[in-house]
Structure 1
Amino acid sequence: MQNQTNIQIILAAVRRIGDAFLKDFKKNPVPQSMDELLKQLDDIENLCLTSLKRDLSLEFPNMYWHLGDEFDTDSQRTPAQQGEYWLCDAMDGAIQYVQHIAGWTINLVLVRQGKPALSVIYDPLAGEMFWAIDGGGAFMNGKMLNVSQKTDPLVMLAVFDYGHQDKSDNQLNEKIGSTVTKLLHNFGVVRNYGPHGLQLAYVGAGRIDLFIQEDIDTYNWIAGLLIAKESGAELLTTTGEPWKWGSESLLVASQRTTKKYLEIES
């Protein structure tokens, strides 16, 4: 997979469908009913998968495709059984796309033996292609990425996010609220931007200093996690344990910044 030709084929396939969506951005009316919303989301998924499968089938003819259903909490606890497969989030931030606002990307991950081996995140609006190879570094438009070197939380940008699972009977809403309050009390700027993978890629690029989430969201995280890790970020749970597939929280930042966060008293 570290063959340069293969990598360029993958990047070109992701760029092609991302640019096709960009060409049609804001062309459809903003959906006004659940039926209209689901129709547009289904169309996005079908178009994206058809394009990617067509463009990658010659180079990877027998590769299994696994669709990451972010609403299925249980399926996110373990990798698929296949030894090697594509994990595809047809469009991270599809809601933003149909609402005619920024914050949508095309994400594709090659999973090998239960770990991301290569990941791609393409932001067509910005013209930015993020990608990483396990053990081979992370890049944006060919430039190697490195995490932020800031030391003062008061000049840091911290972001929080949340998933789609039911939070009514497990105190997740209270935990999320407590975490956001902790961020507001200790970091200079706190935001929620939307597309999970892109936010994690921004950690790798040094644009975001800390990412945190208190619930499981593996499919939305996985592409950005490899990019952040290969840029030098530390991947932990919010209690300071090393993050692994199935962990139910996520804390990503430079090692210096995760240490500062974990030392803050609740």
Structure 2
Amino acid sequence: MTEALPSAGWLNDEHGSGPLATGEWWLIDPVGGNVNAVHGMPDWNIGVSLVRDGRPVLAVVYVPVLDEMFTATEGGGAFLDGVRLRVSAKTSLDGALAGTGQAQPGHDPELAKRMGSAFPAMTNSALYVRISVPVTHQLAQVAAGRMDVHWQFDNVRSHAAGVLLVQEAGGVVTDLEGKPWELAGESYLAAAPGVHAAALEVLTA
């Protein structure tokens, strides 16, 4: 990667957040969901994204246990092992599979409280709600149409790979005010178009 773009910066802090300087940056999550890997569970991955002037333009998420390779380029679509991905066509939240996850430890009490209250609200509206890590795994599932909704109250830069996958698979990614997702934002909702508005209403009620 350094040979391909020698001028690009390199960050492998999977919990890093906030804005980046202009230019190109490689964002690396060497073991997303490392707690799962350590405990012998299969839900972990390796994530790489290229961010250019604050927006992701390339993403690769590899799931070693399943040997699945998710890829996306800005304007070029999202793919799983070379097969194009599309988010689900669901239009009703009561049939949707939703998820969220703790992106980093040490949440302040108010954020923890907000996370705790959102779970029962979504449980009462969606078919199923999953709380797990890694976040990029759930975002990849939304891109593949296996899940329908994913939300986060803590947005870290390493999520950019998953966000681009969802966007390029036809999903909608906004902050929790309904504004377009930004790398330095604090929260976001990624969902299939047919259920995004209903999920946003649940999370902001």
Q: Is the TM-score greater than 0.5?
A: yes
Alignment match, 1:234: 172
Match among 152, 158, 161 for residue 213 of structure 1: 152
**Number of residue pairs matched by the alignment:** 204
The structure having more radius of gyration, on CA atoms, is: 1
Match among 25, 40, 48 for residue 100 of structure 1: 40
Larger relative contact order (CA 8 Å, sep ≥ 6)? 2
Q: CA deviation at 1:64?
A: 2.8
Alignment match, 2:58: 118
Per-residue deviation, residues 149-171 of structure 1 (Å, max 9, x unmatched): 012222211101123253334x1
Identity in percent = 32
Alignment match, 1:141: 81
Alignment match, 1:191: 130
Taking structure 1 as reference, are residues 61 and 96 closer, same or farther at Cα in structure 2, changes over 3 Å only? same
Taking structure 1 as reference, are residues 78 and 61 closer, same or farther at Cα in structure 2, changes over 3 Å only? closer
Query: Normalising by the residue count of structure 2, what TM-score does the alignment of the two structures yield?
Result: 0.91
Per-residue deviation, residues 178-237 of structure 1 (Å, max 9, x unmatched): 1101111101111123111121111111001000112x2322311100010000111112
Q: CA deviation at 1:83?
A: 1.0
Alignment match, 2:120: 181
Which of the two has greater strand per residue? Answer: 2
Q: Partners in 2 of 1:167 and 1:101 — Cα distance? A: 24
> Unaligned 5+ residue runs, structure 2?
none
Secondary structure (helix, strand or coil) at the match of 2:162 reads helix
Match among 68, 77, 81 for residue 18 of structure 2: 77
Q: Is 1:261–2:199 an aligned residue pair? A: yes
Taking structure 1 as reference, are residues 241 and 165 closer, same or farther at Cα in structure 2, changes over 3 Å only? farther
Q: CA deviation at 1:138?
A: 0.5
CA-based RMSD: 1.8
Q: CA deviation at 1:253?
A: 0.4
Alignment match, 1:201: 140
> Unaligned 5+ residue runs, structure 1?
1-55
Q: Which amino acid aligns with 2:183?
A: W
Q: CA deviation at 1:128?
A: 0.8
Which of the two has greater helix per residue? Answer: 1
Q: Partners in 2 of 1:165 and 1:100 — Cα distance? A: 20
- 8 Å Cα contact 2:27/2:158 also seen in 1: no
Query: Normalising by the residue count of structure 1, what TM-score does the alignment of the two structures yield?
Result: 0.71
